[in-house]
Structure 1
Protein backbone atom coordinates (compact mmCIF):
# COMPACT_ATOMS: atom_id res chain seq x y z
CA UNK A 1 0.00 0.00 0.00
CA UNK A 2 1.19 3.49 -0.82
CA UNK A 3 1.67 5.40 2.43
CA UNK A 4 0.72 8.73 0.78
CA UNK A 5 -2.88 7.70 0.07
CA UNK A 6 -5.48 9.45 2.23
CA UNK A 7 -7.34 7.36 4.80
CA UNK A 8 -10.52 7.86 2.78
CA UNK A 9 -9.06 6.43 -0.43
CA UNK A 10 -11.32 3.50 -1.32
CA UNK A 11 -8.32 1.23 -1.79
CA UNK A 12 -7.04 2.15 1.69
CA UNK A 13 -10.49 1.44 3.17
CA UNK A 14 -10.71 -1.95 1.44
CA UNK A 15 -7.13 -2.88 2.37
CA UNK A 16 -7.98 -2.06 6.01
CA UNK A 17 -11.04 -4.29 5.76
CA UNK A 18 -8.88 -7.12 4.48
CA UNK A 19 -6.49 -6.77 7.42
CA UNK A 20 -9.38 -6.76 9.93
CA UNK A 21 -11.03 -9.80 8.32
CA UNK A 22 -7.69 -11.61 8.40
CA UNK A 23 -7.25 -10.74 12.09
CA UNK A 24 -10.73 -12.05 12.97
CA UNK A 25 -10.05 -15.28 11.06
CA UNK A 26 -6.81 -15.76 12.98
CA UNK A 27 -8.62 -15.20 16.27
CA UNK A 28 -11.24 -17.80 15.33
CA UNK A 29 -8.59 -20.25 14.13
CA UNK A 30 -6.96 -20.17 17.55
CA UNK A 31 -10.08 -22.00 18.74
CA UNK A 32 -10.12 -20.43 22.18
CA UNK A 33 -13.15 -19.53 24.26
CA UNK A 34 -16.47 -21.15 24.99
CA UNK A 35 -18.78 -22.15 22.13
CA UNK A 36 -20.91 -19.09 22.93
CA UNK A 37 -17.88 -16.79 22.73
CA UNK A 38 -16.90 -18.37 19.42
CA UNK A 39 -20.46 -17.78 18.19
CA UNK A 40 -20.19 -14.10 19.19
CA UNK A 41 -16.86 -13.81 17.38
CA UNK A 42 -18.29 -15.58 14.32
CA UNK A 43 -21.19 -13.10 14.35
CA UNK A 44 -18.68 -10.25 14.51
CA UNK A 45 -16.80 -11.73 11.53
CA UNK A 46 -20.09 -12.02 9.64
CA UNK A 47 -21.03 -8.40 10.41
CA UNK A 48 -17.61 -7.15 9.27
CA UNK A 49 -17.72 -9.32 6.16
CA UNK A 50 -21.17 -8.02 5.20
CA UNK A 51 -19.97 -4.42 5.66
CA UNK A 52 -16.93 -5.17 3.51
CA UNK A 53 -18.91 -7.01 0.84
CA UNK A 54 -21.38 -4.15 0.46
CA UNK A 55 -18.43 -1.77 -0.01
CA UNK A 56 -16.45 -3.98 -2.38
CA UNK A 57 -19.05 -5.90 -4.41
CA UNK A 58 -19.65 -3.09 -6.92
CA UNK A 59 -16.01 -3.49 -7.98
CA UNK A 60 -15.90 -7.32 -8.19
CA UNK A 61 -17.32 -9.88 -10.55
CA UNK A 62 -20.54 -11.41 -9.21
CA UNK A 63 -19.18 -14.79 -8.17
CA UNK A 64 -16.14 -15.76 -6.21
CA UNK A 65 -14.99 -15.98 -2.62
CA UNK A 66 -17.45 -13.38 -1.30
CA UNK A 67 -20.35 -15.25 -2.94
CA UNK A 68 -19.15 -18.50 -1.32
CA UNK A 69 -18.73 -16.70 2.02
CA UNK A 70 -22.27 -15.34 1.69
CA UNK A 71 -23.67 -18.87 1.22
CA UNK A 72 -21.72 -20.10 4.26
CA UNK A 73 -22.79 -17.12 6.41
CA UNK A 74 -26.42 -17.87 5.65
CA UNK A 75 -25.96 -21.52 6.65
CA UNK A 76 -24.14 -20.46 9.83
CA UNK A 77 -26.96 -18.08 10.85
CA UNK A 78 -29.26 -20.82 11.99
CA UNK A 79 -26.56 -23.06 13.45
CA UNK A 80 -25.94 -23.12 17.18
CA UNK A 81 -22.38 -23.19 18.51
CA UNK A 82 -22.97 -26.60 20.12
CA UNK A 83 -23.98 -28.23 16.82
CA UNK A 84 -21.34 -30.38 15.17
CA UNK A 85 -21.70 -28.60 11.83
CA UNK A 86 -20.98 -25.17 13.38
CA UNK A 87 -17.18 -25.62 13.36
CA UNK A 88 -17.25 -27.19 9.87
CA UNK A 89 -19.25 -24.26 8.46
CA UNK A 90 -17.10 -21.75 10.33
CA UNK A 91 -13.95 -23.38 8.94
CA UNK A 92 -15.39 -23.11 5.42
CA UNK A 93 -16.24 -19.46 5.99
CA UNK A 94 -12.74 -18.72 7.27
CA UNK A 95 -11.26 -20.50 4.23
CA UNK A 96 -13.43 -18.41 1.83
CA UNK A 97 -12.51 -15.19 3.65
CA UNK A 98 -8.81 -16.09 3.54
CA UNK A 99 -8.99 -16.78 -0.22
CA UNK A 100 -10.73 -13.45 -0.74
CA UNK A 101 -8.20 -11.55 1.39
CA UNK A 102 -5.30 -13.25 -0.41
CA UNK A 103 -6.53 -13.24 -4.03
CA UNK A 104 -9.82 -11.70 -5.07
CA UNK A 105 -9.81 -8.62 -2.81
CA UNK A 106 -6.29 -7.43 -3.67
CA UNK A 107 -7.07 -7.90 -7.39
CA UNK A 108 -10.10 -5.60 -7.01
CA UNK A 109 -7.95 -3.06 -5.15
CA UNK A 110 -5.35 -3.17 -7.97
CA UNK A 111 -8.09 -2.60 -10.58
CA UNK A 112 -9.36 0.39 -8.59
CA UNK A 113 -5.87 1.87 -8.27
CA UNK A 114 -5.23 1.49 -11.98
CA UNK A 115 -8.65 2.54 -13.20
CA UNK A 116 -9.58 5.61 -11.15
CA UNK A 117 -7.93 8.83 -10.21
CA UNK A 118 -6.84 9.39 -6.60
CA UNK A 119 -9.56 12.04 -6.29
CA UNK A 120 -12.30 9.63 -7.41
CA UNK A 121 -11.01 6.90 -5.08
CA UNK A 122 -10.98 9.38 -2.18
CA UNK A 123 -14.56 10.41 -2.97
CA UNK A 124 -15.75 6.78 -3.14
CA UNK A 125 -13.87 5.84 0.03
CA UNK A 126 -15.48 8.74 1.86
CA UNK A 127 -18.93 7.58 0.69
CA UNK A 128 -18.25 4.03 1.87
CA UNK A 129 -17.20 5.32 5.29
CA UNK A 130 -20.31 7.55 5.47
CA UNK A 131 -22.53 4.55 4.70
CA UNK A 132 -20.83 2.53 7.42
CA UNK A 133 -21.21 5.35 9.94
CA UNK A 134 -24.88 5.87 9.05
CA UNK A 135 -25.83 2.19 9.18
CA UNK A 136 -26.71 0.52 12.44
CA UNK A 137 -24.08 -1.92 13.64
CA UNK A 138 -24.17 -5.18 15.51
CA UNK A 139 -25.13 -4.16 19.04
CA UNK A 140 -23.48 -5.48 22.15
CA UNK A 141 -26.00 -7.57 24.15
CA UNK A 142 -25.70 -5.26 27.17
CA UNK A 143 -26.77 -2.26 25.09
CA UNK A 144 -29.88 -3.83 23.57
CA UNK A 145 -32.28 -1.83 25.74
CA UNK A 146 -30.64 1.44 24.64
CA UNK A 147 -30.42 0.70 20.90
CA UNK A 148 -33.77 0.83 19.11
CA UNK A 149 -32.47 -1.00 16.03
CA UNK A 150 -30.97 -3.84 18.05
CA UNK A 151 -33.84 -6.15 17.18
CA UNK A 152 -33.27 -5.48 13.48
CA UNK A 153 -29.63 -6.51 13.50
CA UNK A 154 -29.55 -9.09 16.24
CA UNK A 155 -27.60 -12.15 15.07
CA UNK A 156 -29.61 -15.19 14.11
CA UNK A 157 -31.66 -16.29 11.13
CA UNK A 158 -31.89 -13.50 8.59
CA UNK A 159 -29.00 -11.50 10.11
CA UNK A 160 -27.02 -11.37 6.84
CA UNK A 161 -30.03 -10.04 4.95
CA UNK A 162 -30.93 -7.51 7.67
CA UNK A 163 -27.34 -6.24 7.82
CA UNK A 164 -27.18 -5.91 4.03
CA UNK A 165 -30.52 -4.09 3.97
CA UNK A 166 -29.37 -1.67 6.68
CA UNK A 167 -26.14 -0.89 4.82
CA UNK A 168 -27.91 -0.55 1.48
CA UNK A 169 -30.51 1.73 3.09
CA UNK A 170 -27.74 3.89 4.49
CA UNK A 171 -26.12 4.00 1.04
CA UNK A 172 -29.37 5.32 -0.42
CA UNK A 173 -29.50 8.01 2.29
CA UNK A 174 -25.93 9.24 1.65
CA UNK A 175 -25.64 8.53 -2.07
CA UNK A 176 -24.58 5.18 -3.45
CA UNK A 177 -20.82 4.50 -3.70
CA UNK A 178 -21.19 3.31 -7.29
Structure 2
Protein backbone atom coordinates (compact mmCIF):
# COMPACT_ATOMS: atom_id res chain seq x y z
CA UNK A 1 0.00 0.00 0.00
CA UNK A 2 1.20 3.47 -0.87
CA UNK A 3 1.94 5.50 2.26
CA UNK A 4 -0.25 8.33 0.94
CA UNK A 5 -3.32 6.14 0.49
CA UNK A 6 -5.57 5.37 3.44
CA UNK A 7 -6.66 1.78 4.05
CA UNK A 8 -10.08 2.70 2.68
CA UNK A 9 -8.79 3.81 -0.71
CA UNK A 10 -10.91 2.14 -3.41
CA UNK A 11 -7.91 0.52 -5.11
CA UNK A 12 -6.77 -0.88 -1.74
CA UNK A 13 -10.26 -2.26 -1.04
CA UNK A 14 -10.49 -3.87 -4.49
CA UNK A 15 -6.95 -5.29 -4.27
CA UNK A 16 -7.91 -6.87 -0.93
CA UNK A 17 -11.00 -8.31 -2.61
CA UNK A 18 -8.82 -9.85 -5.33
CA UNK A 19 -6.63 -11.53 -2.71
CA UNK A 20 -9.69 -12.89 -0.87
CA UNK A 21 -11.29 -14.15 -4.09
CA UNK A 22 -8.05 -15.86 -5.05
CA UNK A 23 -7.79 -17.47 -1.60
CA UNK A 24 -11.37 -18.79 -1.79
CA UNK A 25 -10.72 -20.22 -5.26
CA UNK A 26 -7.60 -21.99 -4.00
CA UNK A 27 -9.53 -23.44 -1.07
CA UNK A 28 -12.25 -24.73 -3.40
CA UNK A 29 -9.68 -26.14 -5.83
CA UNK A 30 -8.22 -28.25 -3.04
CA UNK A 31 -11.50 -30.18 -3.18
CA UNK A 32 -11.62 -30.94 0.52
CA UNK A 33 -14.67 -31.18 2.74
CA UNK A 34 -18.12 -32.64 2.33
CA UNK A 35 -20.31 -31.57 -0.59
CA UNK A 36 -22.32 -29.44 1.85
CA UNK A 37 -19.14 -27.72 3.08
CA UNK A 38 -18.10 -27.07 -0.52
CA UNK A 39 -21.54 -25.58 -1.23
CA UNK A 40 -21.15 -23.29 1.81
CA UNK A 41 -17.70 -22.22 0.60
CA UNK A 42 -19.05 -21.69 -2.94
CA UNK A 43 -21.82 -19.51 -1.45
CA UNK A 44 -19.14 -17.54 0.41
CA UNK A 45 -17.24 -17.06 -2.87
CA UNK A 46 -20.46 -15.89 -4.56
CA UNK A 47 -21.18 -13.39 -1.76
CA UNK A 48 -17.61 -12.03 -1.91
CA UNK A 49 -17.76 -11.80 -5.70
CA UNK A 50 -21.09 -9.95 -5.69
CA UNK A 51 -19.76 -7.43 -3.14
CA UNK A 52 -16.64 -6.97 -5.26
CA UNK A 53 -18.54 -6.72 -8.55
CA UNK A 54 -20.84 -3.97 -7.32
CA UNK A 55 -17.79 -1.86 -6.41
CA UNK A 56 -15.70 -2.60 -9.50
CA UNK A 57 -18.23 -2.89 -12.35
CA UNK A 58 -18.32 0.85 -13.13
CA UNK A 59 -14.66 0.56 -14.21
CA UNK A 60 -15.07 -2.52 -16.43
CA UNK A 61 -16.62 -3.18 -19.78
CA UNK A 62 -19.77 -5.24 -19.28
CA UNK A 63 -18.78 -8.30 -21.32
CA UNK A 64 -15.81 -9.62 -19.36
CA UNK A 65 -15.09 -12.21 -16.74
CA UNK A 66 -17.38 -10.71 -14.11
CA UNK A 67 -20.30 -10.85 -16.56
CA UNK A 68 -19.49 -14.52 -17.23
CA UNK A 69 -19.17 -15.15 -13.49
CA UNK A 70 -22.57 -13.53 -12.90
CA UNK A 71 -24.28 -16.05 -15.18
CA UNK A 72 -22.44 -18.93 -13.54
CA UNK A 73 -23.32 -17.69 -10.05
CA UNK A 74 -27.01 -17.58 -10.97
CA UNK A 75 -26.86 -21.18 -12.23
CA UNK A 76 -24.80 -22.32 -9.26
CA UNK A 77 -27.13 -20.83 -6.65
CA UNK A 78 -29.81 -23.29 -7.77
CA UNK A 79 -27.53 -26.32 -7.93
CA UNK A 80 -27.33 -28.75 -5.03
CA UNK A 81 -23.87 -29.92 -3.97
CA UNK A 82 -24.73 -33.54 -4.89
CA UNK A 83 -25.71 -32.64 -8.48
CA UNK A 84 -23.16 -33.38 -11.20
CA UNK A 85 -23.53 -29.87 -12.62
CA UNK A 86 -22.45 -28.31 -9.30
CA UNK A 87 -18.72 -29.09 -9.74
CA UNK A 88 -18.83 -28.19 -13.45
CA UNK A 89 -20.41 -24.80 -12.73
CA UNK A 90 -18.10 -24.21 -9.78
CA UNK A 91 -15.06 -24.97 -11.96
CA UNK A 92 -16.29 -22.45 -14.54
CA UNK A 93 -16.84 -19.84 -11.84
CA UNK A 94 -13.36 -20.39 -10.41
CA UNK A 95 -11.81 -20.00 -13.89
CA UNK A 96 -13.76 -16.76 -14.50
CA UNK A 97 -12.72 -15.39 -11.10
CA UNK A 98 -9.07 -16.28 -11.71
CA UNK A 99 -9.12 -14.55 -15.13
CA UNK A 100 -10.71 -11.50 -13.53
CA UNK A 101 -8.10 -11.35 -10.75
CA UNK A 102 -5.23 -11.71 -13.27
CA UNK A 103 -6.48 -9.52 -16.13
CA UNK A 104 -9.69 -7.53 -15.73
CA UNK A 105 -9.14 -6.51 -12.12
CA UNK A 106 -5.69 -4.94 -12.63
CA UNK A 107 -7.03 -3.07 -15.69
CA UNK A 108 -9.88 -1.67 -13.57
CA UNK A 109 -7.41 -0.59 -10.89
CA UNK A 110 -5.33 1.23 -13.52
CA UNK A 111 -8.48 2.97 -14.79
CA UNK A 112 -9.43 4.06 -11.27
CA UNK A 113 -5.92 5.45 -10.63
CA UNK A 114 -5.97 7.22 -14.01
CA UNK A 115 -9.46 8.70 -13.74
CA UNK A 116 -9.86 9.49 -10.02
CA UNK A 117 -7.91 11.74 -7.68
CA UNK A 118 -6.54 10.31 -4.44
CA UNK A 119 -9.33 12.13 -2.57
CA UNK A 120 -12.00 10.64 -4.83
CA UNK A 121 -10.47 7.17 -4.44
CA UNK A 122 -10.52 7.55 -0.66
CA UNK A 123 -14.17 8.69 -0.67
CA UNK A 124 -15.23 5.89 -3.04
CA UNK A 125 -13.44 3.34 -0.86
CA UNK A 126 -15.24 4.59 2.24
CA UNK A 127 -18.57 4.45 0.40
CA UNK A 128 -17.95 0.86 -0.71
CA UNK A 129 -17.04 -0.25 2.82
CA UNK A 130 -20.06 1.54 4.30
CA UNK A 131 -22.36 -0.02 1.70
CA UNK A 132 -21.04 -3.48 2.49
CA UNK A 133 -21.58 -2.96 6.18
CA UNK A 134 -25.11 -1.62 5.68
CA UNK A 135 -26.09 -4.30 3.13
CA UNK A 136 -25.98 -7.02 5.74
CA UNK A 137 -28.80 -5.29 7.61
CA UNK A 138 -31.04 -4.14 4.74
CA UNK A 139 -34.11 -6.19 3.84
CA UNK A 140 -34.78 -6.97 0.21
CA UNK A 141 -37.96 -5.08 -0.77
CA UNK A 142 -39.62 -8.21 -2.20
CA UNK A 143 -38.97 -10.19 0.97
CA UNK A 144 -39.50 -7.65 3.72
CA UNK A 145 -43.07 -8.74 4.50
CA UNK A 146 -42.59 -12.50 4.11
CA UNK A 147 -39.14 -13.51 5.35
CA UNK A 148 -37.45 -12.69 8.67
CA UNK A 149 -34.74 -10.07 8.14
CA UNK A 150 -32.00 -12.41 9.38
CA UNK A 151 -32.81 -14.84 6.54
CA UNK A 152 -33.05 -12.36 3.68
CA UNK A 153 -29.43 -12.50 2.56
CA UNK A 154 -28.91 -16.22 3.08
CA UNK A 155 -27.67 -18.12 0.05
CA UNK A 156 -30.07 -19.99 -2.18
CA UNK A 157 -32.14 -19.18 -5.24
CA UNK A 158 -32.17 -15.44 -5.80
CA UNK A 159 -29.16 -14.84 -3.55
CA UNK A 160 -27.17 -12.95 -6.22
CA UNK A 161 -30.09 -10.61 -6.85
CA UNK A 162 -30.82 -10.12 -3.14
CA UNK A 163 -27.18 -9.29 -2.41
CA UNK A 164 -26.96 -6.86 -5.34
CA UNK A 165 -30.22 -5.18 -4.28
CA UNK A 166 -29.03 -4.80 -0.69
CA UNK A 167 -25.72 -3.29 -1.78
CA UNK A 168 -27.45 -0.98 -4.24
CA UNK A 169 -29.95 0.19 -1.63
CA UNK A 170 -27.22 1.00 0.85
CA UNK A 171 -25.23 2.99 -1.73
CA UNK A 172 -28.25 5.02 -2.85
CA UNK A 173 -29.75 5.27 0.66
TM-score, with normalisation over the residues of structure 1?
0.88
Tell me which residue corresponds to 1:144. none
Whether contact under 8 Å (1:136, 1:149) holds in the other structure is no
C-alpha separation between the residues in 1 aligned to 2:40 and 2:68?
A: 21
Deviation at 1:136, TM superposition (A): 1.0
Q: Does 1:84 align with 2:93?
A: no
**CA apart distance, 1:67:** 0.3
2:20 is matched with: 20
Q: Distance in 2 between matches of 1:3 and 1:73?
A: 36
Flag structure 1 segments of 5+ consecutive residues without an equivalent.
138-147, 174-178
Aligned to 2:149: 149
Alignment coverage as a number of residue pairs: 164
Equivalents in 1 of 2:105, 2:112: separation in Å? 11
Identify unmatched segments of 5+ residues in structure 2: 138-147
- Residue of structure 1 equivalent to 2:44: 44
Going from structure 1 to structure 2, the CA distance change for 1:90 and 1:2 (only over 3 Å counts) comes to: same
Contact 1:11 1:112 in 2 (8 A): yes
Q: CA deviation at 1:149?
A: 2.1
2:102 corresponds to 1:102: yes
Alpha-carbon shift at residue 3 of structure 1 (Å)? 4.7
Instruction: Check whether the contact 1:66–1:100 (CA below 8 A) recurs between aligned residues.
Output: yes
> Could you tell me how far 1:61 is from its partner in structure 2?
1.1
TM-aligned CA deviation for residue 5 of structure 1: 1.9
